[in-house]
Amino acid sequence: MAGTFRLDRKGVSFILKNRCADAINALAESIAEQVRDAHDDVEVEVDEYTTDRGAAAVTIADPRGRQLQASDGALTRAAARFGLEVTEVAE
């Protein structure tokens, strides 16, 4: 006999926006630190934000940022160390 399942949308939303955000932000800082260690002469920023869940973006805030990503894979390598994949955000 199958039971009834009811999704607690408010509860799930709370967890994704609050509880997971701390872990996501810490991971983003770790990725940024990996890039800083490899390229100590560039500024790396972490932008923490919330959509329907906690989120963060890591950006090489330097005119050479795109070139470092294209030639060295700076963000890709740092993210891969944590099992993540890098995607480019259209401006």
- Structure confidence by residue, pLDDT tens digits, 43-75: 999 999 888 777 888 999 988 888 998 898 999
Encoded amino acid at 59, one letter: T
What is the distance between the alpha carbons of residues 41 and 78, in angstroms, rounded to a whole number?
A: 16
Q: Which residues of 39-48 are buried (b: 16+ CB within 10 A; e: fewer)?
A: beebebebee
Q: Which two tokens stand for residue 75?
A: 């963000």
User: What predicted TM-score, i.e. pTM, was given to this entire model?
Assistant: 0.76
Q: Which pLDDT value is given to residue 46?
A: 95
- For 55, the token pair is 């989120």
pLDDT of residue 81: 92
Q: Are 85 and 58 in contact (CB under 8 A)?
A: no
